[in-house]
Amino acid sequence: MMDKPSVMEELLAECIIYWLFILGIIVSSVVALHYYLSKRRYYQLARKIPAPPGLPIIGHAFNILMGTEEAFRNVWNTMSDCDVCKLWLGTRLFVFIKNPADIELVLNSRIHLCKPSESNLLKTCLGDGINTVSGCQWKSYRQLIAPMFQWSQTFQPILRNYSRILDDRLLKNVGKDIDCYNYMSDAVMELLLISIFGENTDTEESKKYFEAIQKLKEIIRYRQNKFWLHPDLIFNLTKYSKLQKDLLRIINRFTRQAIKNRKRALMEQGYGWPKNGYFEDQNGNIEHNNNITTCLKEGDRSPSLLELMMEVSHNGTTLMDSEIQNQVDALVLEGLDTTALTGSFFLGVMADRPDIQERCAIELSQIFGDSDRQVTFEDTLQMKYLERCLMETLRIHPPVPFITRELQQELRLASTCLTIPANSTLMVDVKKLHMNEELYSSPDVFDPDNFLLEKCVSRHYYSFIPFSAGPRSCVGTKYSMLSLKVLLSSILRKYKIFPSSGQESASMMTKDTRRTERFVIKMEHRKR
């Protein structure tokens, strides 16, 4: 049997507990004070920024728990009266801006180039793509990839082939209800397949790859909006975790195989594969790797983006296979949904506004006359009215409604005397900017003349930023405008578009921030 503790021992135990308690209070006070002192400026600056009503301590987390749409709607209402607005998510600060002068300060800067930590979710799935990394790594990827998109003409033979494929598919749908988004995303998918992976890639595997990328994007978006799903520990308990793993398996298998196939094809043509900027010829001699593009350009086809990436060398280092894989996935991820949404909304508006559709058709008949010939790059340069309609589509319905940055340094705004603290997440509200009455006289009305030259020059340069602007803007801008012109002009030259009965008016859906509107249209042959 154990002896009962003596009075002395009991006193000693009480004393220890007492001092431990005191020590605990001191340590937590020091930690809290240190946190407050280190963050004092952060909170001082943040306090001055206007906000929609929130709760103490948790801020707007409750709103976000109800769904980000609700939280963003609050921001939308608050921002009707002021250019800046904040949202608290626990201790994380999100600041929304919509004034072109402030936007220019951020997007044009060489300092504020970092993506916020939410993009880490994308990074953990698809690796270090140009769209998620920051710093030197981003700079070197950007220097490699951006020039590949300067060669609009090199896409022309591909686009020409493509509009023929599109014609066949359209013929099958004449007179039927067509879901614009499904239709456009199939079309853009094929286009991206040809441009990125080269020819003969329209297989079951490639369809699965694109489907997987789209589903993965949905899962990532869902997870980004539910902050309690951010830690892997919790996310791994959900059904989405398994689905994500399956999708990643499909994506990785497809891209790896595509790289392997292109390498084999190039080797069969007499080119070995480059090692650190060099390649082996058939006799095993090592030569500098600078003539695959030349070889392909001199042949009867343009190099695909994958081939360009495989070839490209920078500062003596070649992209590794895994890096190429990440960049290819990043391009598909960024390019598919955005281009498809724009085309879909454009078709919805055309169905809704026969007057505008007719003006496009007249412009196209002036370019092509009665000819059935395929569209050329030069033709696309003459499609001025169609281009203005596309820009107006992107104004009213920007596929990327928020452009985000993690601020590494404080940012003093130009429009007010407010300063946004370092380490906050900046959200450029593209939709709100494009709906500003001071920039566009009737912002809710679909009016392609908003993009007449004289109107454009009288507005602030950063009044229209669907592709963002500055050093981190979209690399696919020219590519997507060119491909949309080819796709949409091919449709409007031959077909008249009508709304399907019961269809919500596309040109009136200006206030809604939803991303994937569904428009159903009908097509009939256009009389020459």
Please say which residue, 196 or 523, places its beta carbon nearer to ligand HEM.
196
Please say which residue, 140 or 238, places its beta carbon nearer to ligand HEM.
140
Minimum CB distance to ligand HEM, residue 418 (Å): 22
Please say which residue, 45 or 308, places its beta carbon nearer to ligand HEM.
308
Minimum CB distance to ligand HEM, residue 122 (Å): 11
| Sign of the C-alpha dihedral computed for residues 518, 522, 525 and 528 taken in this order | negative
Please say which residue, 163 or 338, places its beta carbon nearer to ligand HEM.
338
Q: What are phi and psi of 419, to 5 degrees?
A: -120, 130
The helix or strand, by DSSP H or E, that contains position 188, with its residue range, turns out to be helix 180-192
Minimum CB distance to ligand HEM, residue 86 (Å): 20
| Sign of the C-alpha dihedral computed for residues 187, 190, 191 and 192 taken in this order | positive
Minimum CB distance to ligand HEM, residue 330 (Å): 5
Provide the binding-site residues for ligand HEM, judged by CB under 6 A: 130-131, 142, 330-331, 334-335, 338-339, 342, 399-400, 403, 466-468, 472-476, 479-480
In angstroms, how far is CA 217 from the centroid of its own chain?
Answer: 10
The helix or strand, by DSSP H or E, that contains position 67, with its residue range, turns out to be none
CB atoms within 10 A of CB 403: 24
Angle (CA) 417-419-420 rounded to 5° is: 145
Q: Do residues 87 and 60 lie in contact, with contact meaning Cβ atoms separated by under 8 Å? A: yes
> How far is residue 416 from each of residues 127, 403, 404, measured CA to CA in Å?
39, 20, 20
Minimum CB distance to ligand HEM, residue 402 (Å): 9
Closest CA to 163 of 376, 360, 346: 376
Q: Do residues 190 and 169 lie in contact, with contact meaning Cβ atoms separated by under 8 Å? A: no
Closest CA to 223 of 117, 142, 140: 117
Please say which residue, 279 or 519, places its beta carbon nearer to ligand HEM.
519
Nearest residue (beta carbon) to ligand HEM: 476
Minimum CB distance to ligand HEM, residue 81 (Å): 26
CB atoms within 10 A of CB 435: 19
Q: Do residues 483 and 463 lie in contact, with contact meaning Cβ atoms separated by under 8 Å? A: no
Minimum CB distance to ligand HEM, residue 37 (Å): 33
Minimum CB distance to ligand HEM, residue 32 (Å): 36
Report strand pairing: 411-412 vs 495-499: unpaired
Please say which residue, 51 or 333, places its beta carbon nearer to ligand HEM.
333
Q: Is 389 annotated as a binding residue?
A: no
Please say which residue, 139 or 526, places its beta carbon nearer to ligand HEM.
139
Please say which residue, 114 or 492, places its beta carbon nearer to ligand HEM.
114
Say how far apart CA 258 and CA 343 lie, in whole Å: 28
Those residues with Cβ within 8 angstroms of residue 283's Cβ, 6 or more apart along the chain or in another chain: none
Please say which residue, 337 or 447, places its beta carbon nearer to ligand HEM.
337
Give residue 403's region: left, alpha or beta (phi > 0; psi -120 to 50).
beta
Minimum CB distance to ligand HEM, residue 461 (Å): 15
Give residue 271's region: left, alpha or beta (phi > 0; psi -120 to 50).
beta
Helix %, strand %, coil % for the chain, to 5? 60, 10, 30
Feature table: binding site: 474
Feature table: binding site for heme: 474
